[in-house]
Amino acid sequence: MSSVRLRLDGSPVELEAASSTSLLRALRDAGHTKAQGACEQGECGSCLVRIDGVVQNSCLVPATICEDANVETVASLLNQDLADAFARHGAVQCGFCTPGFVVAAEAALASAESLTYDTVRERLAGNICRCTGYHGIIEAVLEVSQRRREANQ
Ligand code: FES
Ligand code: FES
């Protein structure tokens, strides 16, 4: 086991990890549960976090390569307008997938791309919702995209 020091949502944390321990597992074992997990095999997207500005499945990233990294979870990436839109569109059912969807959605919204139903669907393609709530999630992201565009005009 070795110690890994990094910043998590702006605060310094120290994790214990073996060479085979994923960032997701190291975070959750240390009680940092904002990174959600499900499959732990890179299949569902629920564990998405941003590491030094790059969105990645934290279950596939070895914790030991994250020394000094800046790791951001849903806790620091979710903006209130997206939270409100998710609520309005019924985009959260059991909520298990929601942290990953939020990380992917905020990344899509931050891109310069003009989002359509199909492009949002593509940008969220790595995220699985077992409650089959995709339509509400996509509608919520599109609404926020339009509102942010109008606010910037
Ligand atoms: S827990 Fe990482 S992709 Fe499913
Ligand atoms: S809201 Fe239940 S898995 Fe997506």
DSSP 12-74: EEEEEE-TT-BHHHHHHHTT-TTS--SSSSSSS-TTEEEETTEEEETTSSBGGGGTT-EEE-H
- Tens of pLDDT, residue by residue over 81-136, are 999 999 999 999 998 999 999 999 999 999 977 899 999 999 999 999 999 879 99
What are the b/e assignments for 127-139, b being 16+ CB within 10 Å? Answer: bbbeeebbebbbb
Length of the chain: 153
Instruction: Look at the block and give the residue holding tokens 């995220």.
Output: 127
For the chain, the domains span 2-75, 78-151
Atom index in ligand 1 nearest the CA of residue 126 equals 3
The closest of 136, 148, 27, 12 to 70, measured between CA atoms, is 12
Architecture of the domain spanning 78-151:
Orthogonal Bundle (1.10)
- Give the 3-state secondary structure of residue 91: coil
Q: Does residue 139 carry a pLDDT above 90?
A: yes
Q: Is the CB of 45 under 6 A from ligand 1?
A: yes
Pick the CATH number of 2-75 from 3.30.750.24, 3.40.50.1970, 3.20.20.70, 3.10.20.30: 3.10.20.30
Quick check: CB of 103 below 6 Å from ligand 1?
A: no
Mutate to test the pocket of ligand 1, among 33, 34, 44 (most ligand atoms within 8 A of CB): 44
Q: What's the rounded mean pLDDT across residues 61-76?
A: 98
> Residue whose CA is closest, atom 3 of ligand 1?
42
93: helix, coil or strand? coil
Q: For residue range 8-29, what is the model confidence (pLDDT) as tens digits?
A: 999 999 999 999 999 999 999 9
Query: Strands 70-72, 2-8: parallel, antiparallel or unpaired by DSSP?
Result: parallel
Ligand 2: residues within 6 Å at CB? 92-97, 129-131, 133
pTM equals: 0.95
Ligand 2 centroid distance, CA of 116 (Å): 22
